[in-house]
Amino acid sequence: MKKNPFSLLGKVVLVTGASSGIGEQTAISCSKMGATMIIAGRSQENLDATLSRMEGQGHRAITGDLTVAEDLRRLADAVGEVDGVVHCAGVRGLSPIRMVSEKFMREVFAINYDAPILLTQRLLFRNLIRARGAIVFLSSTAAHLGVHGVGIYSATKAALRATTRCLALEQAKRGIRVNCLSPDLVETRLLRVDPQVAGPNEWLEEQRKRHPLGLGEPEDVANAIVYLLSDASRWMTGQTIVMDGGVTF
């Protein structure tokens, strides 16, 4: 086989939210594709667990809460130059709009929108994302369609999509690509302990039935991220890839 255009060999990639779920799998898959990883998350213990499942040498873990300005600054200072940034940190935030408090709304926005944008800003401002690098934001199909109870969450995810397009234009000159992924329901460990899922798991069963190809696996999202980080997608920017197992409603 000739040189694999999907290889991440020689690339340094920062991934947030690497303690669990999609972020954790992204760290693992990218390392298996040859990248040197910097993984960020709030829990050292969880990051260590992720590190133990990664392949290759030279990976680093940095702990911190990205909604805390000081932590964000510390992360940006410690990162160094990277070829890719993947923003996986996020919360689902379930609440019907009539029950939403301002505090809740600000928290969900702080984690899902403010943190990834401010981190990206800081890295770009200090020229830490190399030319022909790639930035990937995690949106959601909830940003494309109406779902009960996630009015604020879907707004944060739609905001990421919108900013993706603007940032793609701003960074094209340096060949830095900015893309977004909109997965539907992915079966992470977190999902199984979600309060909505606790109990008889009727909701989860119903969700599985809705998706002709089943629910997503963290690997599915991680593989799409590998594609968006690799040179295979060097001409793709400003886009959102929808991945939903064929769900129609």
Partner 1 sequence: MSFNPFSLAGMSVLVTGASSGIGRQTAISCADMGARVIITGRDAVRLEETRGRLEGDGHVAVAADLTDAEGLARVVDVAGVVDGVAHCAGISMIAPFRMVSEKAIDAVFKTNFHAPVLLTQRLLAKRQIANGGSIVFISSTTAHIGTIATSMYAASKGALFPAARALGLELATKQKIRVNCISPGYVNTPLLDGINNGAASIEQNYDLAPLGLGEPEDVANAVVFLMAGASKWITRSTLIIDGGLTVPISIS
What amino acid positions are annotated as catalytic residues? 153
Q: In this complex, which beta carbon is closest to partner 1, that of residue 116 or of residue 216? A: 216
Among 53, 169, 201, 205, binds partner 1 (CB under 8 A): 169
Nearest approach, Cβ of 128 to partner 1 (angstroms)? 21
Is 40:75 a contact under the CB 8 Å cutoff?
Answer: yes
Applying CB under 8 A, does 38 fall inside the site for partner 1?
no
Is 126:177 a contact under the CB 8 Å cutoff?
Answer: no
Among 54, 220, 229, 249, binds partner 1 (CB under 8 A): 220
The CA distance from 144 to 140, in Å, is 8
Among 34, 60, 95, 163, binds partner 1 (CB under 8 A): 34
The CA distance from 193 to 157, in Å, is 22
Nearest approach, Cβ of 167 to partner 1 (angstroms)? 10
Applying CB under 8 A, does 213 fall inside the site for partner 1?
yes
The CA distance from 129 to 134, in Å, is 8
46-65 residues near partner 1, rule: CB under 8 A: 55
The CA distance from 37 to 12, in Å, is 6
Contacts (Cβ under 8 Å, ≥6 apart) of 175: 131, 132, 133
Among 36, 143, 216, 229, binds partner 1 (CB under 8 A): 216
Burial of 238 (0-12, 13-18, 19+ CB in 10 A): middle
Nearest approach, Cβ of 178 to partner 1 (angstroms)? 9
Q: In this complex, which beta carbon is closest to partner 1, that of residue 156 or of residue 171? A: 171
Among 172, 189, 194, 198, binds partner 1 (CB under 8 A): 172
Residue of 143, 162, 160, 136 whose CA lies nearest to 22:
136
227-246 residues near partner 1, rule: CB under 8 A: 227, 232-239, 241-246
User: Sheet containing 177-183: which strands, arranged edge to edge?
Assistant: 60-63, 36-41, 12-16, 82-87, 129-138, 177-183, 240-243
Applying CB under 8 A, does 1 fall inside the site for partner 1?
yes
Give the residues lining the site for partner 1 (CB under 8 A): 1-2, 4-7, 9, 29, 32-34, 55, 165, 168-169, 172-173, 175, 177, 183, 212-214, 216-217, 219-220, 223-224, 226-227, 232-239, 241-246, 248
